[in-house]
Chain A
Amino acid sequence: MAKKNLKIIGTPVPKHDAKIRVTGEAVYGHDIKLPGMLYGAILRTEHPHATFTIDVSAAKKLPGVICVITADDVDTNNISYKRDHPILKKEEVNCIRDEIAAVAAETKEIAEKALKLIKVKYKIKKGIYEPLDALKSGAPLINKFSSGKFEHKNIAEKFYYEHGNIEEQRKKSMVVVKRTFTLPRMTHACLGTSNITAHYNKTTGKLLLYSSTQVPFLYQRDMAHALKMNPSDIRIIQPVIGGGFGSKLDMYPFEPICALLSIKTGRPVQILYSRHEEFLASPTRQPMTIEIEAGADKDGNFTFRDVNVIKDNGAYTSWGATTPFVIMQAFSSLYTLPACRFSATAIYTNNVFAGSFRGYGNPQATFALERVIDLLADKLGMDKAQIRIKNANRPGETTGQGLFFETCGHQDCLQTVIKKAGKKRKSENNRYRRGMGYASMIHVGGGAKIYRSDGCGTTIKIDPYGYCTIISGSNEIGQGSETVLAMIAAEELGISLDKIKVINTDTDIKPWDVGVHASRTSFVAGNSLLGAIRILKEKLNLKAGELLQEKSTSFNYEDGFIKTKSKQIALDKVVREMHFTLPNELAIASYFYEPSSQFQDKGFKGNVSGTYAFASQAIEVEVDTYTGNVRVLTVHVAQDVGKVLNPLLLDGQIHGGVLQGVGYALTEELIFKEGYLLNPNFHNYKLLTAADTPDIHFYPVETHDKQGPYGAKGVGEAPLIPTAAAIANAVCDALQIEMLELPITPERVLVALKNKNNK
């Protein structure tokens, strides 16, 4: 059991490694320079769909070019979880990202020049850019590695789920609303672009990768499969990462390409994306259309939801295709619901593919669901806050999908934001209109059992000087998990924070872990560390008891000492005695924590996470009816975090998440036309700036979940999930318009106003 009277947990400890990040000393992938290192560059197609021939002879002759590869030069397996993605494309390209050749050269400039010398002849083909077009009869096969296991060869993935009796609930409904929503491609736009440095040693046959993956052990296996190597011959070191947000959850072609260049040349090779390449070739949030029909009875109780999602899979499959795991959770289980039917289809097109992005489909689902709730309330003439409170989830509830809420702060979250936000302020004049919008969300808060294990390993040791080293399977991607681990060790062992080191960047050293996703790191790695500490303390207690001649084994660990009421001994002394006197033992312990969650059955039912997080937001906006411009004034956020582990880091997750949500709502969209990307730069893809930051008020709700470390739940994804939904509701409230798509650009607002006035 973790400690009760907490000294460090719950306090605003600055980030463990903030100092090296604020002085420019942190080494990111961009900063690595190895002796003899070559620079890699990738030639991508100029057209989204074409057949081509390629001639690299001139590039090969350029002085300083060491290696040029095309599909003909390599023997590899396809990548992606569907294994439908060739690393280098041969004879045909299927989306504008497609890699067709790569070079390694002595300098970046030479590498770039070599790319220009590669001669490619394209025969442009007519592509398919609308998912439903790909299902029409006579549509060509888009991905020839398609599993073909669904009714149409251009279907990449399908999900079907249901609970309750839809027809019965439909009959009970006094009002029914049906809408179709369209969600855009948002991109992660990490400030540090994608990068990798590969170093293959020809004599040992071992491959060392400096990679910013957030799932190193899955990545090691995927890389080995791609390159036909043994996973354990691949060592992955994770340099400091310049932002993740889900973008590094999959392996993309540039990574095995870099490894191949190193294998071919026997020298280290680095590939660093330009910003243009980052916009073009890193994955996006999954775009989709969501058709939803939902009902409520005369008292405002929700009755049913019938949902059909169509996802543009792009030419290959990445994690975007699996977002329905999370999407269906929102539809089946956010607010108590008697009946739900859900289907989702991912369809191949000649567009770019989507990956995972903070929220994993949940912002899309929550937008559609919360918009529809407002429409139901309107139809019933009910207050929008009241209808939500009435239907909010409660502790002890098991949802139709089998999610069990041991603790649940949904009611609290809603009540809090509704009260704090109060009534919207009066619009100053006819031009500027104010609106208030509410939205909630549910998300896994204790990992998600989707891989064979959702576990995490930890080894902890204390050295003869009383310093502690935590070797954790988990990763730090900027979210602060290292700091939380150090705080836990400080709390439990009474060692000061500056004597705690966290080692977590090397697959040759650290124990297994699934990786950073599903807001799981603090929860799973925290519990794993607590387990290791428990074992370590048993050993320390034994020795301390012997040295203090104390029978009891209940000791306090404080200020570097192991104490009873009357006696104490320095921790480092106990460790030295352990090491250097018989029976000579190390002060070290390992533990593997596996959450108690279950796998879902074939119908996607089961309690998939150790615990669930809830959050609500109330957002006030002001819309300029002349320009269509939307300004977010205040954001009230209440989130069930279980227990606040570190308020400083928690605030950071909330603020950062909310602003990403505001961007999703108002400005961010990668614009494609017939498969070509039109806005691959910060000038035309609008990230919000410091000047756009609204007032954000955050109210943590503590429900103390006994599954979590000190009662904590996962927090990382939640802050972004309901934001776009609440903003859309606020804009619609301000103008009494319909908003069926994101982002809510000024043009879309003006069109909606015009449509309303023409009615």
Chain B
Amino acid sequence: MEVSFNLNGEKVKCKINPTISLLELLREEMGLTGTKPGCNEGECGACTVLIDGISVNACLYPAINIHGKELVTIEGLVTAEGKLDEVQQAMVKHGAVQCGFCTSGMVMNIKAMQRNLEHAHHVPGENIRVQPDRKNIMKWLEGNLCRCTGYVKIIDAAEEVLNKNKI
């Protein structure tokens, strides 16, 4: 089967085995290993990517469904000049990264929350704009497990980024 989709801002086409997950497509077929396999059963969030701006567990997502969609992975956040995205910068600054295995998923899910803040009104089915206070951030990140950090610094990083443009 052939699928074509937008990957990190570029149009791509590839032939895939229809039974594989998006996580397998990324890691095994495309060599994009930044998205991490923590459980392969939808429980840990390490494999979080953005599909049309919404965070999704790539391990549960059938690769064929990506056809025609817009996919952003952790590899898509750094600019061509090598500048980190503001969420990544905040994670570094706050010391929110220890072993780092959960980090890609965390960053992508915080991106999703940021996007929700910016676009919630325009996206059908996603029109609840979540206030970026600490409680809501904690709730939002509930699906991303981290064994090292106790989450505190991750929440701090998210809080800083999400409240930056608050008026």
A interface residues, Cβ below 8 angstroms from B = 12, 14-15, 18-19, 21-28, 30-31, 188-193, 240-245, 274-275, 477-480, 648-649, 651-652, 654-660, 681-683, 687, 689-691, 693, 696
Contacts and interface: CB of A to CB of B under 8 A. Distances in A.
Given A655-B151, A682-B44, 16 more contacts: A18-B92, A22-B107, A25-B34, A30-B37, A191-B36, A192-B101, A242-B36, A243-B148, A275-B40, A648-B94, A652-B96, A656-B149, A658-B150, A682-B145, A690-B155, A691-B142
14 contacts: A21-B100, A22-B103, A24-B35, A27-B33, A28-B101, A190-B147, A191-B38, A244-B99, A478-B98, A652-B149, A654-B150, A687-B147, A690-B154, A693-B152
Contacts of A681: 39, 41, 43
B100 A26 contact: yes
Contacts of B103: 21-22, 24
Contact of B88 (A22, A193, A649, A690): A22
Interface stretch (B62-70, B72-80, B114-122, B123-131): B72-80
Given A31-B33, A681-B43, A689-B142, A656 B92 contact: no
A147 B7 CA distance: 59
B92 A22 contact: yes
B138 A693 contact: yes
B74 A242 contact: no
B39 A24 contact: no
A18 B97 contact: yes
B95 A652 contact: yes
Interface residues of B, number: 54
Interface of B: 27, 32-41, 43-44, 46, 73-75, 77-78, 84, 88, 91-104, 107, 137-139, 141-155
A690 B95 contact: no
B129 to A, nearest CB: 20
A22 B100 contact: yes
A23 B94 CA distance: 15
B149 to A, nearest CB: 5
B84 A12 contact: no
A571 B18 CA distance: 60
Of the candidates B40, B144, B149, the one having the most CB atoms from chain A within 10 angstroms of its own CB is B149
Given A242-B99, A243-B101, A690 B141 contact: yes
Nearest to B95: A648
A21 B148 CA distance: 14
Nearest to B157: A22
Given A242-B99, A243-B101, A191 B146 contact: yes
A193 B40 CA distance: 11
Contacts of A192: 36, 38, 99, 101
Contacts of B154: 690
A478 B152 contact: no
Nearest to B155: A690
A243 B99 contact: yes
B119 to A, nearest CB: 23
Given A22-B103, A191-B146, A658-B150, A275 B74 contact: no
Given A18-B91, A23-B88, A191 B150 contact: no
Contact of A191 (B92, B141, B145): B145
B138 A691 contact: yes
Contacts of B41: 275, 681-682
A290 to B, nearest CB: 26
Given A15-B97, A243-B101, A693 B155 contact: yes
A690 B144 contact: yes
A477 B98 CA distance: 8
B136 to A, nearest CB: 10
Give the 6 A-B CB pairs with smallest separation, nearest first. A24-B34, A21-B100, A655-B150, A478-B99, A242-B101, A659-B150
A682 B46 CA distance: 13
Contact of B43 (A23, A26, A658, A683): A683
B150 A15 contact: no
A689 B84 CA distance: 26
B142 A690 contact: yes
Given A192-B101, A655-B152, A24 B74 contact: yes
A41 to B, nearest CB: 14
Contact of B99 (A23, A190, A693): A190
Contacts of B144: 689-690
Nearest to A28: B101
Contacts of A683: 43
A693 B147 contact: no
A242 B44 CA distance: 13
B82 to A, nearest CB: 9
A746 B20 CA distance: 40
A659 B98 CA distance: 14
Contact of A245 (B40, B74, B147): B147
A240 B103 CA distance: 13
A241 B99 contact: yes
B91 A689 contact: no
A275 B38 contact: yes
Contacts of B39: 275, 681-682
Contacts of A682: 39, 41, 43-44, 145
A30 B145 contact: no
A243 B145 CA distance: 12
Nearest to A476: B99
A610 B99 CA distance: 27
A109 to B, nearest CB: 9
Contact of B98 (A19, A23, A479, A687): A479
Given A478-B98, A480-B98, A682-B43, A689 B153 contact: no
A617 to B, nearest CB: 13
Contacts of B88: 19, 22-23
